Chains A and B, each alone.
Chain A
Amino acid sequence: MSISTKSFALHAGLIAVLFALGFLLPTYHQGNLARIMVLATYAVGYNVLFGYTGLLSLGHAMFFAAGMYGLGLAMHLGGLPPVPAFIIGLIAAAALSTIVALLALRTIGVAFMIVTLMFSQAVFLTILYLGTYTGGDEGFVIAQSSRQILGYDLTHPLTRYMAALFVFSAALLITARMMQASFGQVLIGVRENEERTTMLGYDVFRHKLASVIISGTISGAAGATYALLFGYVGATFGSVQYSIFPLLWVLLGGAGTTIGPLVGAVFMFYLIDYSSGLTNAYMLIAGVVLVLLTLFARAGLVGEIRKRWIAWLP
């Protein structure tokens, strides 16, 4: 089997397993996995920029929030149905990521980190400042009755799970396909050696610009999906914390791997969920596990597997 066939099989297999789990898991874990898949979509978006292009952003929460508020405000204040509202969410995220990219891409390295962090902080404060419309820190609830598409009730556990799976699969397949295309190879080239990529005649800036926009828009899609499926829009999702989460998930799962973001998000969710069942001091456990992971699985979980056993892993 060629590598691209293998990776297609892997992704198709993963989606099939997730599909089956939708029917097999007990309600509680079904609900969790639905949530995790939405968050993993966010991490997939983040991975495009960080894992493949090598640009570390500390401000992705603003894209997640753009999608979330784009959809949320369109439904809550505008009274739009979910599908047009979702498109507005995507447009909001794409527009914001374009603006941010045009400014922030003048910088690289740590300066890029800080610029994205500060833009995101400004977006977060703006959400609070416009509290009359956004509900400030409290946010707002999207009415249960309006969360329906084509007669499917997105608040029903299985429907919700399948909707989350649909969005996650779309993000996964788009990025996997993208990385096999020459576009993705150029991005990896930028990560590995930007100067050489420039010398080879590629327009590095355009590729980076596209990478930020794709990454930001996928993150926004995740934000819009979260609001739609779980019915809540709030400023916390725009805070620094939510910029660091996708970085953490991607690093845990393995930066620059297609399935790493999902693995990282699952791992972190259940690490907190289970250790909080053992002790009140679960953050201590989480902290120790993170330190151990750095020591013994530096490339992330999927990254280590690729390094040690399965070299073709996409």
Chain B
Amino acid sequence: MTKTSMTTRRTLLKSAAAGGLLAASPLMGRFASAQSSAPIKIGFQQHSTGIGAAYGRWYGRTTEAAVKLINDGGGINGRPVEIVAEDDGTDPKRGAEVVEKFANQHNCDVAFGTLFSHVVYGSAPAAGEQKLPYFVVSEGHHVASGALNRYTLQPGITDVKSQVQAMAPYVAENLGKKVTMIFPDFAFGHDHRDFFTAAIEAQGGEVLEHIAIPPTETSFTKYFPKIPRDTEVIYHVMVGPAVLTFVKELGEFFGPSAPAIFGFIDSLEAVDMASPGLEFLEGTYFWEGNPRYAQADQTSHDKMFRAAVGVDDNGASLSDSKDVSTYAHMFGCWETLHVIKAGMEAAGYQGPEDRAKLIEAVEAMTDMPESDAHPQGPKLFNGKTHQVFGVQYISRVEKGKLVKVHTTSIEDTLYEDEVDYTTMSF
């Protein structure tokens, strides 16, 4: 899908055709002040097919909504934003090809949007070589670990290291200190293993057993007997198409006598909490990047974000209550686009020759207060590590809904810098 005309492009095309009518429209007036009215092109690397497709669909909807809002507000530096979406098939090789396509074929100003961390790793070298600013929305620790390059940034979503370590105090204090971790046996799972184990030990707790589930596994019960009897808390995180089976089988395994259960919502992202077999989750805890269910203390920003993307109070699509969103992650696209906007405005961005200026402008950012641009919560950007930090939520399942019980501070999520990208040349 080369140029999926999202709302923006369609509006623009219609506008162009309408000719005279346009001149009278308020939109045109706002764009008119710019030196160049050519659109700013943002390459959107989308997981439309492959294993990330469920996330890709919602990343697409969020992106569309954010761009509409930005354009309705006058675009960036007076220029409209155009999204050029390309499917990367959730494949790192295709990801790199798509980045080159953005740079050389579509002449995009920046690229953005990748979720799966192996695609980020695969694409980042291409972004660095093409000197194309590459804003990922992946929650991987890759950017902040220093493994990538100066052109790759993650300003719209927190990384797994900060998420995981921020959970440890709450888990140790409220659920128990003897933890058994169940996680997928690949890099994302290993991040959980390493960071949480260290964090819970810092709280005086311990991990009794690490159970790494092989990737592509579709049945899980056979591994659960490895859970030690004296486990007080199960910590689970699973990704991929088999997540529901995993959670269901966990419930069947324990039956009525389960320890406390704490999971990352990744285990149930895009899955309806009312699915058969999930009843046992009642009373268990989840990390949420952004609360899926509208909370009692819902902010106006979340309300506005929900409405704009088309998500109801239960986190499902307004048009289909069974189409559950990836609510804990997709806000990252929205916030990243607003960071790009703020960065381009601060840098006085005119075109590709200003790409380095754009990156410097983003690197200079620090506080990002909670607002319509940052509906998930307040954030703190670290220009040296190119990584944003922000509050995390812990929810409890009550009557089949996730109810927020704890909000971490940003300080809980901070860790020492592992890299200083600003010292690298462009």
Q: Using CB atoms and an 8 Å cutoff, list the residues of chain A in contact with chain B.
A: 26-28, 31-32, 35, 125, 128-129, 131-132, 135-142, 144, 155, 230-232, 234-237, 273, 276-280, 282-283
Which 5 pairs show the lowest CB-CB distances between chains A and B?
A: A231-B125, A277-B2, A28-B104, A138-B187, A136-B187
Which chain B residues numbered 173 to 195 have a C-beta less than 8 Å away from chain A?
A: 185-188, 190
In the assembled complex, 5 residue pairs joining A and B whose CB atoms fall closer than 8 Å, in A order, are A26-B104, A32-B100, A128-B215, A136-B187, A236-B92
Residue in A144, A273, A280, A282 whose beta carbon sits within 8 Å of that of B129 in the complex: A144
Q: Does B49 contact A (CB under 8 A)?
A: yes
- Decide if B386 is an interface residue (CB 8 Å cutoff): no
What are the residues of chain B within 8 A of A234 when measuring CB–CB?
92, 118, 121-122
A232, B186: Cβ atoms closer than 8 Å:
no
* Interface hit among B142-150, B200-208, B277-285: B142-150
- Least CB separation from B425: chain A residue: A145
Q: How far is the CA of A137 from the CA of B214 in the complex (A)?
A: 12
Could you tell me the distance between the alpha carbons of A230 and B127 in the complex, rounded to whole angstroms?
11
A230 touching B126, Cβ below 8 Å? yes
Contact B92 A129 (CB under 8 A): no
User: Once the chains bind, are B91 and A276 in contact (CB under 8 Å)?
Assistant: no
**CB–CB B122/A139 < 8 A:** yes
A137-B118, A144-B129 known; A28 and B215 CB under 8 Å? no
Interface residues of B (CB under 8 A from A): 1-4, 48-49, 86-87, 91-93, 96-97, 100-101, 104-105, 117-118, 121-122, 124-126, 128-129, 140, 142, 147-149, 185-188, 190, 214-215
B92 touches A232 (CB 8 A): yes
User: Assuming the A-B contacts A27-B104, A131-B187, A237-B93, are A141 and B4 also in contact, with contact meaning beta carbons closer than 8 angstroms in the complex?
Assistant: no
Q: Are B118 and A144 in contact (CB-based, < 8 A)?
A: no
CA–CA, A149 and B65, complex, Å: 47
Taking a contact as CB atoms under 8 Å apart, the answer to whether A141 and B104 are in contact is no
Q: In the complex the two chains form, what is the Cα distance from A231 to B147 in whole Å? A: 12
* Chain A proximity of B226: nearest CB distance (Å): 17
The CA of A278 and the CA of B91, in the complex, are separated in Å by 20
B185 adjacent to A128 (CB under 8 Å): yes
Point out the residue from B2, B121, B126, B129 that lies within 8 Å of A139, measured CB to CB: B121
Pick the contact of A230: B2, B4, B96, B149 (CB < 8 A).
Answer: B96
Query: CA A125 – CA B212 in complex, angstroms?
Result: 13
Contact status of A280 and B93, CB under 8 A, knowing A141-B125, A231-B125: no
> Given the known A-B contacts A138-B117, A234-B92, A236-B93, are A144 and B149 also in contact in the complex, defined by CB atoms under 8 Å?
yes
Question: Given the complex, which residues of B lie within 8 Å of A135, measured CB to CB?
Answer: 121, 187
Contact between B104 and A138 (Cβ–Cβ < 8 Å)? no
A268 to chain B, nearest CB (A): 12
Say whether B124 contacts A141, CB under 8 Å: yes
Minimum CB–CB distance for B194 against chain A, Å: 10
Query: In the assembly, what is the distance between CA of A230 and CA of B124, in Å?
Result: 10
**Cβ of A28 and Cβ of B118 under 8 Å apart?**
no
Q: Which residues of A contact B117 (CB under 8 A)?
A: 138
What is the CA–CA distance of A139 and B93 in the complex, to the nearest angstrom?
12
Contact A276 B87 (CB under 8 A): yes
C-alpha gap A236/B101 in the complex (Å): 21
Q: Give the CA-CA distance A234 to B124 in the complex, in Å.
A: 13
| A32/B92 in contact, CB under 8 A | no
Distance in angstroms from B258 CB to nearest chain A CB is: 29
Task: Return B187 CB to nearest CB of chain A, in Å.
Answer: 4
Q: A28-B104, A230-B126, A280-B87 are in contact. Are A141 and B1 (CB under 8 A)?
A: no
Instruction: For B214, give the chain A residue with the smallest CB separation.
Output: A125
Determine if B100 and A141 form an interchain contact, defined as CB atoms under 8 angstroms apart. Answer: no
For the complex with contacts A141-B147, A276-B87, A280-B87, 9 further pairs of A-B residues with Cβ separation under 8 Å are A27-B104, A137-B186, A139-B121, A140-B121, A140-B147, A230-B125, A232-B125, A234-B92, A234-B121
Q: How far is the CB of A59 from chain B (nearest CB, A)?
A: 17
- Beta-carbon contact of A137 and B215 below 8 Å: yes
Cβ-closest chain A residue relative to B194: A132
A276 CA to B125 CA in the complex, in Å? Answer: 23
Are B1 and A276 in touch, CB under 8 angstroms? yes
**Bound-complex Cα distance A230 to B97 (A):** 10
B87 near A129: Cβ-Cβ < 8 Å: no
